[in-house]
Amino acid sequence: MARTDLSIERGKVTVLLGPSGAGKSTLLRCMNLLVKPTTGSVRVDGTASLDSRRELRRHRRRTGMVFQHHQLIPRFSALRNVLLGRVGYHSFWQSILPSSRGDQRIALEALERVGLLDKALTRVDNLSGGMQQRVGIARALAQQPDLILADEPVASLDPNSARRVMELLRRVCQESGITLVASLHQVDLALEHADRIVGLAHGEIVYDGPAAGVTDEDLLVIYGGVPADEQADALPLSAQTVSLPTSAD
Ligand SMILES: Nc1ncnc2c1ncn2[C@@H]1O[C@H](COP(=O)(O)OP(=O)(O)OP(=O)(O)O)[C@@H](O)[C@H]1O
């Protein structure tokens, strides 16, 4: 049985590296139970188990997600998309009413932080890929998160945009003390921006250490095993135990 026991440090940038099918997205999605581990548990602050619905709701509200393909609503403006980050704070009835001034201010501030205040009223399908991803980051920021989970956040971008977006994501998280866990395919970006690298292969952690200490041999261990297309078949059932830092409040 592949074990994936991991404790995430508050306020740090942790990057999951590994070949296709290694289990990066699965592990990331376990961290807010979008994927349920077969066995084991996900704990916040070492104690609050996400098995409790109340804790899970609270944890998801304070966990921003950034996706490879943005998951924006194309015909909505940037502002309207960012306001969706506030939905978890309201009841169903409140969320179908027009947004409050408070939420609009939070959303506009988030757009300002990603340098897109001037695009607030532009439909996102008229924005470039890099800008769309920045709207995705602003939506995550509007959640006022303690934790951001970013699944291949720059995989759809050209190298220059990827670098800029990764820099932005790391910077806004550091400035606000947000814990960032990202899966990446670009080793250079990972080593540049991460505090810690977690290397996965076959659904197991094969490397865990400071980004500054990663050697070519470590990268061989992460990437040099079974060819990527054979790995998914080889994965046994998993046991995942993940500890996440708690919210600041
Ligand atoms: N620990 C695990 N135990 C069992 N199955 C797993 C485990 N991790 C991942 N899998 C399965 O392996 C497959 C590939 O995993 P996943 O998509 O997470 O890999 P990835 O590293 O994100 O790949 P890519 O880089 O191509 O997105 C999925 O079908 C997933 O359900």
pLDDT (tens digit per residue) in 53-101: 888 888 999 999 999 888 999 999 999 999 999 988 877 666 677 788 9
**Domain limit, last residue, from 109, 144, 179:** 144
pLDDT level of residue 240 (50, 70, 90 thresholds): low
Q: Say yes or no: CB of residue 232 within 6 Å of ligand 1.
A: yes
Query: How many angstroms separate the Cα of 57 from the Cα of each of 53, 80, 225?
Result: 6, 23, 38
Q: Say yes or no: CB of residue 235 within 6 Å of ligand 1.
A: yes
Tell whether 47 and 163 lie within a shared domain: yes
pLDDT above 90 covers a percentage of the chain that reads 67
Tell whether 51 and 164 lie within a shared domain: yes
**Domain limit, last residue, from 144, 177, 195:** 144
CATH number at residue 193: 3.40.50.300
Tell whether 90 and 122 lie within a shared domain: yes
Q: Say yes or no: CB of residue 24 within 6 Å of ligand 1.
A: yes
Q: Say yes or no: CB of residue 25 within 6 Å of ligand 1.
A: yes
Tell whether 119 and 218 lie within a shared domain: no
210-219: average pLDDT: 94
* Dist. CA 221 → ligand 1 center (Å): 18
The answer, yes or no, to whether residue 245 has pLDDT greater than 70, is no
Tell whether 203 and 243 lie within a shared domain: yes
* Dist. CA 38 → ligand 1 center (Å): 13
148-153: average pLDDT: 96
Closest-CA residue, ligand 1 atom 12, reads: 232
Closest-CA residue, ligand 1 atom 25, reads: 20
Q: Which among 3, 68, 235 is the best mutation to test ligand 1's pocket, defined by most ligand atoms within 8 Å of the CB?
A: 235
Tell whether 21 and 128 lie within a shared domain: no
Q: Say yes or no: CB of residue 26 within 6 Å of ligand 1.
A: yes
CA-wise closest residue to 243 among 31, 77, 1: 31
Lookup: tokens for 134:
């920045």
55 burial via Cβ count (<10 Å: 0-12, 13-18, 19+): middle
Task: Provide the domain limits for residue 181.
Answer: 1-62+146-249
**Which residue stretches of 75-126 are H helix?**
78-83, 92-96, 101-113
Tell whether 157 and 245 lie within a shared domain: yes
Tell whether 110 and 97 lie within a shared domain: yes
* Dist. CA 40 → ligand 1 center (Å): 17
Tell whether 247 and 167 lie within a shared domain: yes
Q: Which residues contact 107 (CB under 8 A, 6 or more apart)?
A: 79, 82, 83, 85, 86, 99, 138, 142
Tell whether 117 and 239 lie within a shared domain: no
Q: Say yes or no: CB of residue 18 within 6 Å of ligand 1.
A: yes
Tell whether 138 and 151 lie within a shared domain: no
pLDDT of residue 239: 43
Among 70-79, 172-181, 221-230, which is the least confidently predicted range?
A: 221-230
CA-wise closest residue to 5 among 235, 232, 230, 208: 208
129-133: average pLDDT: 95
* Dist. CA 156 → ligand 1 center (Å): 19
pLDDT level of residue 242 (50, 70, 90 thresholds): low
**Domain limit, last residue, from 116, 144, 172:** 144
pLDDT of residue 229: 41
Tell whether 34 and 111 lie within a shared domain: no
Mean predicted lDDT score pLDDT of the chain: 87
Closest-CA residue, ligand 1 atom 29, reads: 232
The domain tally of the chain equals 2
